[in-house]
């Protein structure tokens, strides 16, 4: 019998928390009810603070070697010869060096030109490069990698660059 202790514990804790929260809505305000409500609140806080790490672990288990980052860092296996422009938001890496994606925040869409120039200075040749006031796209290749760089501005004015890197 295969056991999945992390998922089983998470599911049991979430179910217990939901049942306890449902029951605490009917509390009469006695000291026992207040103690139970305090314990439930602590349990819910512990569950929610651990969800990110648990989900990341589940994704790693299910996808077999995929690395996801949401902590402002590129995946640890991201190729150092691919320069990134802007503030790194996070990314992902396929198993065994099959590919990477990194998103960065830029101050403006005009930084597409800076990102493209950084790739070219690192030895990448650009093709299909095009940009305007709100966006940009280009494919950049070297002897080792292909980088598809796209820059977009969302409805709130936030500008992000997405680097999709694959082995050449």
Q: Summarize pLDDT for 100-123 with one digit per residue, the tens.
A: 999 999 999 999 999 999 999 999
The Cα-based distances of 139 to 3, 105, 125, 150, 165 in angstroms read: 45, 19, 8, 9, 10
Cα separations in angstroms, 33 against 21, 24, 45? 11, 7, 18
Residue with the bigger pLDDT between 68 and 98: it is 98
pTM: 0.64
Q: Are 100 and 75 spatial neighbours (Cβ–Cβ below 8 Å)?
A: yes
For residues 104 and 82, what is the distance between their CA atoms, to the nearest angstrom? 13
DSSP 12: H
pLDDT digits over 40-92, tens only? Answer: 555 545 544 554 555 555 555 545 567 778 889 999 999 999 999 999 999 98
Helix 5-24 vs helix 31-63: angle between axes, to the nearest 10 degrees? 150
Domain residues of the chain, as ranges?
5-63, 67-167
Closest of 154, 138, 144 to residue 81, by C-alpha: 144
Calculate mean pLDDT across residues 25-39.
52
Rounded Cα distance between 125 and 138, Å, is 10
């Amino acid at each position: 019998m295969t056991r999945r202790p992390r998922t089983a514990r998470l599911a049991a804790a979430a179910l217990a928390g939901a049942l306890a929260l449902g029951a605490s809505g009917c509390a009469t305000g006695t000291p026992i009810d207040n103690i139970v409500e305090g314990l439930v609140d602590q349990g819910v806080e512990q569950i929610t603070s651990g969800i990110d790490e648990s989900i990341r672990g589940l994704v790693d288990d299910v996808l077999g070697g995929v690395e996801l980052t949401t902590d402002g860092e590129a995946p640890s296996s991201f190729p150092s010869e691919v320069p990134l422009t802007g503030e790194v938001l996070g990314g992902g890496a396929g198993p065994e060096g099959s590919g990477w994606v990194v998103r960065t925040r830029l101050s403006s869409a005009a930084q597409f030109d800076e990102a493209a120039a950084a790739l070219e200075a690192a030895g990448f040749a650009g093709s299909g490069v095009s940009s305007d006031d709100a966006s940009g796209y280009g494919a950049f290749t070297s002897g080792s990698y292909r980088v598809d760089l796209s820059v977009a501005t969302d409805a709130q004015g936030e500008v992000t660059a997405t680097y999709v890197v694959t082995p050449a």
